[in-house]
Structure 1
Amino acid sequence: MEQVVIIQDKNEIESVLQQSKQFGLFKICTYSYRDFKEEVHLGFLKGCLILKKSRSLDEFIPLIMRIRRVTKVPIILLVDMYDSFESAICLEAGADEYVAYPIHPRDLSARIKAVMRRSYQEKFEEEKETILNFGDITIYLNREEVYRNKTRIDLNGREFAILLYLLKKSGRIVTREELMEAISVYKNKRLIDIYIHGLRSKIEDLPNFPKFIRTIKGKGYRFEHDYSI
């Protein structure tokens, strides 16, 4: 169950939320500022954080920034009086909403649900798998896995890095020096040829007559196939 964690000096926000009939699906936890420890109470929070501002801005901004270092859950600030300058500072520090209080229970409930929807949609977009395709090769970037005809190919870390670099520079000549930089190898150019040979043996139908990773004599290599995402 998703949680709403409320930080306040007076126990008032919880009773406001309980008045909203829409709010029965959430668990509410309340802490005073004195008892609240962001590392302890927010490490595994899935939901929303509400802060009732009752302190100076000089104390409040560092708190928001410390919270943001611990968690990405949305933060709603409730303030006694709306101030556009203060709102801008709080939002830049990491807050998601800056709202004047008192507020109607239904309005507060709707805002909580809205910021959580936005937060989880952003997280979903971040975690959504990015897939590259060329020929019969499929690359799952997030998992760093490569498949050929739905069979996984075992690439080591440097082979994978070289393949991605060549794809990124598709259609352009890539020198051995560039590839050495890409995989943090700075002395032995021959290592690049060894990795290229290994890549070709795994992704090419005819490694001795490659159609993807072509050798450009005296210059380097060029990836010669369009890929799609």
Structure 2
Amino acid sequence: MPLVLVVDDEVNILQLLKYNLVKEGFQVIEATNGNDAIKLTGEKTPDLIILDKMLPEMDGFDVLRILKSNRQSASIPVIMLSARDEMLDKVLGLELGADDYITKPFSPRELVARIKAHLRRKRPPVEEEAVREEIRVNCLVIQPEKYEALLDGVRLELTQKEFELLYLLVANPGRVFTRDSILEKIWGYNYDRKSRTVDVHIRYLRQKIERDPANPEYIETVRGVGYRFREVH
């Protein structure tokens, strides 16, 4: 039974989420501030976190930074909640490692559907999945069994979604992936077509693996279509 941590300082939101999640078969633990959220994550290791942006003591973005900088919690999917429907907030949340961003008021059914989609995308136990071989491209090394990537021998700090996106591209050199196909393969469902989720993650990946992100040698943009990993001969 998946364990979901809900972090929100509004009691009515906590009750609404807990009711709908329990009804769908989830276990739920709650926190009303950032410090408790970080503590519970370390103690319970939830399968997914629903994190409100506006929290007392420290805001949701600060909590997200801490969670994603810790190896124990970095791969836990995080869905951000916010009453602000501003693109800047969404982009910042995604850049910090959030896997999804939902604006209040929201549909509980849609939120539950997104939670299930993210949990389907979580990495299965190693013993249950086929062995995926290490991939080397120049100074870039992808180690799928460890969920790690190295550049010039140095481990890259990647979120789960960043790693999955990088692996998808590197494992299929020269193949062009549309934004919609990337959303389906990595996030497990189709976002709003106006979403910048893929573009934000591509930009963040380029900052981490490209020597000059403005002139990428690995991840190419195919104008009007999507992205591909350049074939190296």
Give the alignment's TM-score, normalised by structure 1.
0.48
Return the index of the structure with the highest Cα Rg. 1
Q: Compute the TM-score of the two structures, normalised by the length of structure 2.
A: 0.48
